[in-house]
Structure 1
C-alpha cells in the first residue's frame, strides 16, 4: 500500500517520473480481489477515494468531471438512446449519469470485478446512487466475451469506463474489442471509451484512433479536466457507425437535469472537441469528422 507518513502516492504505472499524492485521514478498506488491489480511504480534502492497483479511480471531490463528460457526450450526441451498455464503471458513476436520461429504457452494465461495486456501495460513494435503478442489469464477467455474446446490434450507446490498458483492462483497448462493440451497436449507434491523457499518451491515443479508423464511420477525440488524474486531464475516444457530428449535441438537458449537472453543458460538449495545437496536429490526421 503506497501510504507513507499519512500521504497516499500513486504507483508510477503509465506516467514514469511523476506522482500525485493525497493526504490520508483514514484507510477504510484494503483487500486484493480476484483481479486487482482495491483500496478505499478518506482523504483530507478530496472526500473518499477509490484506488485500483495503486492508481486513483475516483475521488468524491472531482469525479463528476469525468462521469458527466464520458456519459453525456455520447448520450446527448445520440438523438434518442434507448439501450445503453456500460463496460466497467464499477464505482457506479457512469450508471448514475446514464440513469438521468429518461429516454433510456434498458441499461446493461458489465463490470468484471464485483468487489469494486461492493465497496462503492458499502462506503456510500457519491457515484454509487443508481444501482437500484429498475432499468439496470448488472453482470460480472469479462466484457470482451460479454459484448461478443450479447451485442447483436442492440445498443444505441456503449460507454467504456475502463482503467488504464494494463491488467484486467488491457483487452478493452485492442482493435478486436472495438470491432465487437461496432457489431453490438444499433444503426447510428455511438461508442465512447476512456481515452488516456494528451500530455502523457499522445502516441497511444493516435494508435487507438488509427486502429479504429476502419471500424467507425465517425471518429473523434474529446477531453475533460480532472485534477486527480495524471497531468489533470483525461480524454475520450468517441465513434459512431453513422456520419454524425459527434461534437454537437443532438439533444440538450432539460431544465431539471441541467440544474443537477456540475460540469457538462451543451457548450462544454462542443468545446471538449477543441484540442490544443500540439494534440490537434496528431489527432486531426486520424480522426473522421463530419459537420
Structure 2
C-alpha cells in the first residue's frame, strides 16, 4: 500500500504516475496500488492506457486529458478533486508532463490547494542520459526539435555553445534531417548519442561524432525506426574562448606593427592571459 491510510481516508490528491516506456515490467508496485485505488485515471489516450490497465487487471475508470482539451478539462478535474475524489494522471508512456500533457492540471491543482504527489518511475530522458556515456552532472532537456528546418537550425544554434549535455526527442521521419542540421551547425566532430527503443527488444544506444553517426544511421533502415532520444555533448570550451573581444582587438592592432610573438606577450600582460595560448591562437587565426 502507498500509506498506512487508504486513499479514501486521505485528503483528495492528484497523483502523477509514470508508466512504462516499453517494458511493462517497469511499472512500480506503488504505481499499481495508486492506479487501483484512485477514483479516476486521467489519461492522454484512454485506449492506450486501457491496454496497460487490462494487463494489470485494474478496473478504474479513465478520463481523457490530452494536449487539445487539457485547458478546457483541467478545471473539471480540479472540481472533482475538491469534491473529495482522488485522481491519477498518466501519459501514454513515461513520466507525465515531460513533453506530455499535465502542466495546466498540476498548476490549477496547486493554485486550488489540492495536494499533488509525484511518483518516481520510467522516463526516457533519464534512462538515455544514464547510459549515454556523456557528462550527466549538468544537462538540459529541450523537448522535441522544431519540425521546420529554419526553426530547427535556430534552436541548434541556441545550444551550440551550451556546455551542458543537451537532450532532445526526435521522430523517426525527421531523424536524418535533424542529424544533418546538427552537423551543419555544430560540425562533424560534435559527439551525439542516439538512444532508440529504450527498454524494448531492439534497444540501441550508439554514440559517435556526427560525421560518423550519420553514415551509421543511414547504413541500416532499422536504426531510423522507433522512439528516439538525441543527446548532444556539451560545448568544449578551449583556452581561446577565454580571450575577450578587447584582447583580440588589441592583438590585431599590435601585429600590424610588431612580430606576433612580441604582440602576444604585450597583450597577455595587459589582460592577464597565457602568452603561449594567445600566441598559438594568433598563429591559427591571424594572417
TM bracket (short chain): 0.3 to 0.5
TM-score (norm 1): 0.32
TM-score (norm 2): 0.32
Identify, as 1 or 2, the structure richer in helix.
2
When Rg is computed on C-alpha atoms for both structures, the one with the higher figure is 2
